[in-house]
Chains A and B, each alone.
Chain A
Amino acid sequence: MTDDGERGLPGKGLINGLAVTLKTLTKKTITQQYPDVEPELPPRSRGVIALLEENCTVCMLCARECPDWCIYIDSHKEEVVVPGAARARQRNVLDRFDIDFSLCMYCGICIEVCPFDALHWTPEFEYAETDVLSLLHDKGRLGEWMRTVPPPPAHDVLGEPSKEEATAARKAAGPGAATAAKTARPAPVRPEPRPESDR
């Protein structure tokens, strides 16, 4: 109050402070009444991991990449007799697929590495337990979470085509045709992401 340097009128800061609090008083509060009102979570929220069992080939990539070693997988091989084939084929059958959510740190590496989209994020987060052992979700429980997986956000119509599409187009055009890098349109202004695809 007394040891100010050059700061304009004395007491200006005091008045400004009062103005800030008064302005905030008139604004809408940002409190979310969580247990009463469900929060609106974006589709990519990292709530819990869901397992689509049919897609899993027991390649073990997720279990090996997991930094916390919190994915446990057991499987056995089954012979599938294909009529007309020379030999019977072998198929991996999943016996156990557990994720220990007391260890999981929600890094999402397992979902990233899964080559067949067997693992998915879902925004559900209300699975707290009174017993830490109950946080080990078996494949049945992980499969139930699949119901809550939101549909993937729509592609950006102005974005680059996917790699698969680009490769197919190049092959169709024959050798020497323009590559994806050559045909990529220069986008001087990146379009604003639409709010509904954001949420």
Chain B
Amino acid sequence: MPLWLDLLVRVVAVMVGFLVLPLLVGQAEHKVMAHMQGRVGPMYAGAFHGWAQLVADGVKFVQKEDVHPHGADRTVFRLAPIVALFPYLIIILTIPLGPNGLVAQRLDIGLFLVLAILGIGVVAVLMSAWASANKYSLLGGLRGAAQLLGYELPLVLAAASVAMAAGTLSLPGIVEVWRPWWLIWQAPAALVFFIAGLAEIRRPPFDMPIADSELVFGYMTEYTGLRFAFFLLAEYVGIIVIAGLTTVLFLGGWHGPFADQLGWLWTLLKMGVLSFVIIWFRVTYPRLREDQLQRLCWLILVPVSLAQLVLTVAVKSLL
């Protein structure tokens, strides 16, 4: 296969995944959340159980008027949704789907790049918060910044644990050396990574920066139309990214029966299950208060991830 064709296939595949998977998760969230609350969810759009609800939402968002608040910093205001969305696209490039190089871009420092880019989210939050010229946006943005900076630490420490265990920073490399008993060995790190990841994408119960009952809609208050849709899309791509990273780092990615042929299916299946859990958490748990949020991070997640690091080193040196 010539290089340009190879590149084209990879880029198109990533774009398709980037645009389709979040819609699947969004639709699943509509339906799962509705049924968990005894409702049926969207039923009309697309004529069969509302399968086209998100398409209809997208069409509606495109038609909305493009409003800037008076006194907003226009350039930054316009740039913020892109900054929120774009890092996730790059992260999807590095998530391996199956064995034998079924990954858009095989990087030796994949984990390092992913963690670095995940941190850009805080910039997008601060940009949208400050540029909106709105006190609710600013409050939400500052809460978001505190939360993202705090939870970045357990996230990185948990990821460092698995990197130490595998002895590599390459995401496909980590999956290759993964063994089923790591599920127990790395269980605390997996929990910490998943919870901190939830906080990183500001999903309930960690949606204090958005907190629609107190801050209108946090840093997204002033956004309408397509820009707002970008923020929403970023949230759902975030679910894919966190589910994908947890799968790859802690759940063994493509490992499973017939991994050589069906590896991609195993990865997608595990991501789907984790996405369901993320939706499940949203339906079940009330929002954490700001002090509870910070306490959970600094008093529970950080010590647990540090202890996990010690455990990883101890087991690794015994082997």
Q: Which residues of A contact B (CB under 8 A)?
A: 1-2, 14, 17-18, 20-22, 24-25, 27, 29-31, 33
Partner of A20, one of B34, B40, B284, B295: B284
Contact residues of B between 281 and 297, Cβ < 8 Å to A: 283-285, 292, 295-296
Whether A27 contacts B284 by the Cβ 8 Å rule is no
- In contact, B284 and A31 (Cβ under 8 angstroms): no
B-chain residues with CB within 8 Å of residue A2 when the two chains form the complex = 295, 299
Most chain B beta-carbon neighbours within 10 Å: one of A14, A20, A30, A31: A31
How far apart are the CA atoms of A21 and B34 in the complex, in Å?
Answer: 10
Contact of A17 among B35, B43, B285, B296 (CB under 8 A): B285
Q: In the complex, what residues of B have CB within 8 A of residue A14's CB?
A: 285
Q: B292 contacts which of A1, A21, A30, A33 (Cβ < 8 Å)?
A: A1
Interface code B17-29, partner A: CB below 8 Å = 1, 0 otherwise?
0000000000000
The interface of chain B, by Cβ under 8 A from chain A, is: 32, 34-40, 43, 280, 283-285, 292, 295-296, 299
Given contacts A18-B284, A24-B38, 18 further A-B contacts (CB under 8 A): A1-B292, A1-B296, A2-B295, A2-B299, A17-B284, A20-B284, A21-B36, A21-B280, A21-B283, A24-B37, A25-B32, A27-B38, A29-B34, A29-B38, A29-B39, A30-B39, A31-B39, A31-B40
Hey, which chain A residues are within 8 Å of B292, CB to CB?
A: 1
Instruction: Give A83 Cβ to nearest chain B Cβ, in Å.
Output: 68
Assess the B40–A29 pair: CB atoms within 8 A: yes
Enumerate 17 A-B pairs (CB-CB under 8 Å) in ascending A order. Answer: A1-B296, A2-B299, A18-B280, A18-B284, A20-B284, A21-B280, A22-B36, A22-B280, A24-B35, A24-B38, A25-B36, A27-B38, A29-B38, A29-B39, A29-B40, A31-B38, A33-B43
- Complex: how many Å from CA A60 to CA B19? 70
CB neighbours of A30 from chain B (8 A): 38-39
Residue of A nearest to B277 (CB): A18
Question: Within the assembled complex, what's the spacing in Å between the Cα atoms of A25 and B285?
Answer: 15
> In whole angstroms, what is the CA distance A2 to B289 when docked?
13
Residues of A within 8 A of B34 (CB): 29
> Which residue from chain B places its CB closest to the CB of A29 in the assembled complex?
B40
Q: How far is the CA of A21 from the CA of B39 in the complex (A)?
A: 12
- Which A residues touch B38, using CB under 8 A? 24, 27, 29-31
* Residues of chain A contacted by B295 (CB below 8 angstroms): 1-2
A33 contact set on B, CB distance < 8 A:
40, 43
Q: How far apart are the CA atoms of A148 and B292 in the complex, in Å?
A: 59
Q: Closest chain B residue to A33 by CB distance?
A: B43
**What residues of chain B lie closer than 8 Å to A25, measured between beta carbons?**
32, 35-36
Shortest distance between the CB of A146 and any CB in chain B (Å): 36
Nearest CB of chain A from residue B177's CB, rounded to whole Å: 32
A-B pairs, 3 with minimum CB distance = A21-B36, A31-B40, A17-B284
Which residues from chain B contact A22 at a C-beta distance below 8 Å?
36, 280
Assembly CA distance A33 to B40 (angstroms): 9
Contact of A24 among B36, B40, B285 (CB under 8 A): B36
User: How long is the Cα–Cα vector from A21 to B40 in the complex, in angstroms?
Assistant: 14
A21 / chain B contacts, CB cutoff of 8 Å:
36, 280, 283-284
Contacts of A31 in B (CB 8 A): 38-40
CB distance from A29 to the nearest CB of B (A): 5
Closest to B282 in A: A21
Question: For the complex, what is the distance from the CA of A42 to the CA of B293, rounded to whole Å?
Answer: 49
How many Å lie between the Cα of A173 and that of B38 in the bound state?
59
Report the bound CA distance from A178 to B179 in whole Å.
90
Inter-chain CA distance A24–B280, complex, in Å, is 12
Please give, as numbers and ranges, the residues of chain B lying within 8 Å of A1 by CB-CB distance: 292, 295-296
Minimum distance in angstroms from B148 CB to a CB of chain A:
21
Q: How far is the CA of A25 from the CA of B279 in the complex (A)?
A: 12
* A1-B296, A2-B295, A2-B299 given; A29·B35 CB < 8 A: yes
Q: How far is the CB of A27 from chain B (nearest CB, A)?
A: 7
Interfacial chain B residues near A27, Cβ < 8 Å: 38
Alpha-carbon distance between A18 and B39 when the two chains are bound, in angstroms: 17
When chains A and B are docked, how far (Å) is the Cα of A2 from the Cα of B299?
10
**Nearest chain B CB to A25 CB, angstrom units:** 5
B315 to chain A, nearest CB (A): 25
Q: Which residue of B lies closest to A2 (CB)?
A: B295
Which residues of A are found within 8 Å of B35, using beta-carbon distances? 24-25, 29
Q: Considering only CB atoms, which chain A residue lies closest to B39 in the complex?
A: A31
Q: How many whole Å from B160's CB to the nearest CB in chain A?
A: 25
